[in-house]
Structure formats: C-alpha cells, structure tokens
Amino acid sequence: MNRVQSLVVAALLVAASGVALAGEITYSAAPYTHDKITVAAEKIWLKGDKVWFKLRVMNGSDKVLMFDKEQIQAKLPDGRTMARARSVFAGQAKPSTVLPGGSQPLWVEYVIGKTPMQVSLLFGHGFILDGKPIALPDFVASPTGQ
C-alpha cells in the first residue's frame, strides 16, 4: 500500500470512530465500596436525553445479596427524582441475586434531558442482604471534566 492509500485509510478510520462517538458524553464515578459491597462503573454515558449506567455489583460479604433495579431511582442536582427508563418490550426487571464472592451486572438508564449534569443513583432502596433490606450510600456520577 502506498503512502497516499495509507493516509486515506487512516483518515477514514478516524472519521468512522468520530461518528461512532458523536453525541456521547462520558461520565465518571468515584470508587464505591460500602460494607463489603462494591459497585464498579464499567461505562456511564449520556447519549441523546438518556444517561446510561453499565455497572457491576460485587458481593464481598459472606451473605447473599439481592438488588432490584426497579427500586433504584436517579436524583438530579435540582432535587428531581425519577424511575429508570425502560422500553415497552423490556417490561419489568426481576431482582438479581449476587452470591458471596460473586458479581452481577446492573444496567439502568434514566431520561434526564440533553444537558450533561451530575446524577446520583439512590441506593437507599432495592438492596437486600441476608433477607434484610439495607440502605447504601448514593452512587454519584458526573460528566467527565466536571
């Protein structure tokens, strides 16, 4: 491949990657561990008017942990709270079980509008450890660079 062809291929790859990420704003969150329960952010982003959380819940305790994403609300800086968004086809999610030493994905999305802003997931409801409801601190995510 000659130099001109190489430059054209490189330019096309750069353009294609830019199109794939267009309109997507990355979020970040501080490391989160509370009473041997860890929530790791795999990816958090705002696209269109939805903020998407792709998280992993890890159970470091010696008890069974359950979480119900239907009970996890999001809170915006102005105090508004909202239930997760879901498609007509997805329906209601079932609670997830995390065995001791195990992990499970927690994927949720919320319609917050197109303006990037801090979003807190309210973990005060929806988590059960050893058959008893527990309240965890909020999980806070902010647009990268804010």
**Tens of pLDDT, residues 34-88:** 999 999 999 999 999 999 999 999 999 999 999 999 999 999 999 999 999 976 5
- CA 117 from chain centre, in angstroms, equals 14
Please write the tens of the pLDDT for every residue from 68-77.
999 999 999 9
Give pLDDT, residue 11.
44
Tokens of 11: 């330019």
- CA 25 from chain centre, in angstroms, equals 13
Q: CB of 142 within 8 A of CB of 118?
A: yes
CATH superfamily of this structure's domain 24-143:
ApaG domain (2.60.40.1470)
What's the average model confidence in pLDDT over 81-104? 86
Number of CB atoms found within 10 A of residue 105's CB: 10
- For 69-120, the DSSP string reads GGG-EEE-TTS-EEPPP--TTT-PPPPEEE-TT-EEEEEEEEE--SS---EE
